[in-house]
Amino acid sequence: METPYPKPITPAQTRIGWIGIGVMGSAMASRLLSAGYTLTIYARTPSKALSLQSQGAHLANSPFDVAKTSDVVFTMLGHPSDVRSIVLAENGVLSGLNCGGVTVDNTSSHPALAREIFAAAREKGCWSVDAPVSGGDVGAQEGKLAIFAGGDGGVVEWLSPLFEIMGRATYVGKAGCGQSCKIANQITVGGNLVGLSEGLVFAGQAGLDVRQWMESVRSGAAGSMVMELYGERMIGRDFRPGGFAEYMVKDLGMGVDSVEEADENVVVLPGAALSKQLFSGMVANGDGKLGTQGLITVIERINGGK
């Protein structure tokens, strides 16, 4: 079967497809355009593609049409069901991808689905990489995302010129491992967001200046990337999404609620279960489309706030 290795990735000869142009996806695709790559994109709502089109992206009519004219197709979608529909459906990415082509899924999705896509890609002489990301909208805009890549190590290495435009990729193992890495990442981030929210609420109710409190602790053990990304936003009531709160419920659920059939070890995650419950509270309050930093509103409500 043909592999992509003999043909190095360059703006002059590598055609890129992109599907999923929300907050994160549009910023990532924009960086590839700025680096000189030719992009063909698909959007279920074409009006959302106008900004990327103004940068030179070409709009296609279907995932099939994107794949047919691309060497590498990226997907950055909301849910595993979206990935299945866009990649595996009759008119999906794999149906149009030419032999030796690669599909890269940046969605936070399920490890089992990543393995299914990898097997389906190999059957037709193509490759797939599951490469979910972390770093929020700021990381996407600045090209500083952490990228967790699972699949064939050689293919991941071949893709490095593209990954380097978006951030720093780490090869974490076979197909599905990228998604498992992201779930573990979200478990950690969720716990950090709970702690930061509670720290800010406690400091405020104790009569402290919350900005001064954050400045005083950020260089110590309480400091974290979560604090750097979201602390000021929480204080300033800026809940614009870098990642939706409802997606955190999805991500944590894949760790807390599901045990893969092939996995004989049940992992008990009490902290992640609490984080999921609190983010579910955001969704129940009608705030699922707010950024994850909006978790502080749930802690405020528990303590008698609005």
Encode pLDDT of 152-200 as tens digits: 999 999 999 999 999 999 999 999 999 999 999 999 999 999 999 999 9
Q: Which of 124, 144, 182, 306 is catalytic?
A: 182
**Cβ neighbours, 10 Å, residue 266:** 7
Average pLDDT, rounded, for the chain: 94
Percentage of residues of the chain with pLDDT beyond 70: 96
Q: Does 182 qualify as catalytic in the annotation?
A: yes
Domains with residue ranges and CATH for the chain: 15-175 (3.40.50.720), 181-302 (1.10.1040.10)
Task: Summarize the confidence of residues 131-147 as an average pLDDT.
Answer: 95
Q: What is the pLDDT of residue 92?
A: 97
Percentage of residues of the chain with pLDDT beyond 90: 90
Q: What is the pLDDT of residue 4?
A: 83
pLDDT band at 265 (very low <50, low <70, confident <90, very high): low
pLDDT, tens only, 55-70: 999 999 999 999 999 9
